[in-house]
Structure 1
Amino acid sequence: MTRTAISSSLRKGIVPSNEMVYIVDDDASVVDALSSLLRANGKQVQIFTSGQDFVDFERQDSCACLILDLRMPGLNGLQVQKSIAAQTTIPVIFITGRGDVPSTVTAMKGGAVDFLTKPIDESALLVSIDKALEQDRKLRRVAFEQESLLARYRSLTPREQQVLPLLVRGLLNKQAAGELGITEYTVQIHRGHIMRKMEADSFATLVKLASKLNLEASEAS
């Protein structure tokens, strides 16, 4: 499974209409009951009968969450969670017929949204799914905003990338010019280009954007 890109609908600030709930459980009766419940509540559902099938599946680009059975033949729920952790941020809701404290702790440390015991409380499950989908929307929104910010930063010329950290450190144009061995007027020109390319409507905004880029760390490296 590969990490999905940010959808065009999210770029426009619109909540995707193709949100998906994935169910991974080897128990056919549980899968049928859960999928019927979710579809009746307006959710799109895709079913997998083994953990390996889900791990091998190429997900479409959409907001999603995963309902994952803890105990299954082959890859169990915790192994699936660990396997996909490096490739996706999809929120996970664990379900199990007989939960145990160590497994619950491991699941939660791995970032699980919830841990529900069978028979599943329908209301609790629906609340957990809404929570998980909202979490995924936020994660995807943050990822897009960071991607957009990096794209704007990379649109700066090498010299503008040198000027930017000096300005946000509070240096005057004359001081920045002295550090770089260029004229104050040239710094003023670069400053105007930086503000435009970074889409900063004020210097305060530019400082906030630069802080998200962690320029000091990148300069040190």
Structure 2
Amino acid sequence: MPAIKDVARRAGVSVATVSRVLNDHPSVRADTRERVLAAVADLGYRPNAVARSLRTDQTRTLGLVISDVLNPFFTELARSVEDAARELDYSVVIGNADERPDLQDHHVRTLMDRRIDGLLVSPTDGGSPMMLAAARAGTPMVFVDRWIEDEGLDRVPVIRTDGRGAIRALVAHLCALGHRRVAIIAGPAATTTGRERVDAFRSALREFGLELHEDHIGQGTSRPPAAAG
């Protein structure tokens, strides 16, 4: 593989000039920039991403740890994150926690070792020790869909849907159709989204003069039946 010094030799400039061109520094003259870029193309030179990350303390890589790759919601989420990151010239490394705190910690540890620039997490049941420690240490982090109810993590941004509003709209629709005995199958009770939807369902029923009985609450997953067991 050609090195940066080979590009400098081909373009007739210094290594520092090549570096400035590759980093789009405004101090380089247009004709010099064109000569360097032509040498890069001729030689097929590719910058060493590891060396650059050590210099700039940035890897232009994000980590995404999702709760369950078999859940279609998280599959679509992963694709959307990759699309958005690519537009900003970032790469994404994805880890599937499979709803296991220990596996979530494994992915968080691996991603932190790779010196990622930021971490997006859909937390498993209450989080996991490594993930909680990373968040409390100030690692750039965003919670996606799920979050952790902890005073020490109230500064971590949360990106999520309006679950309460959606549940109320569903209850209003069922009641408008005349239904009075309604039930809910929510996600895992240990997750914030699962608990929120049951609470929102109960509150919405009260607005219409109805009660939610415990035997009308079900907990499930978003996995296909063959994978759920």
TM tier, smaller: 0.3 to 0.5
- Which is higher, the Rg of structure 1 or of structure 2? 2
Task: Please report the TM-score for the alignment, with normalisation by the length of structure 1.
Answer: 0.36
Structure 1 or 2: more helix by fraction:
1
Task: Please report the TM-score for the alignment, with normalisation by the length of structure 2.
Answer: 0.35
Greater relative contact order structure (CA < 8 Å, 6+ sep): 1
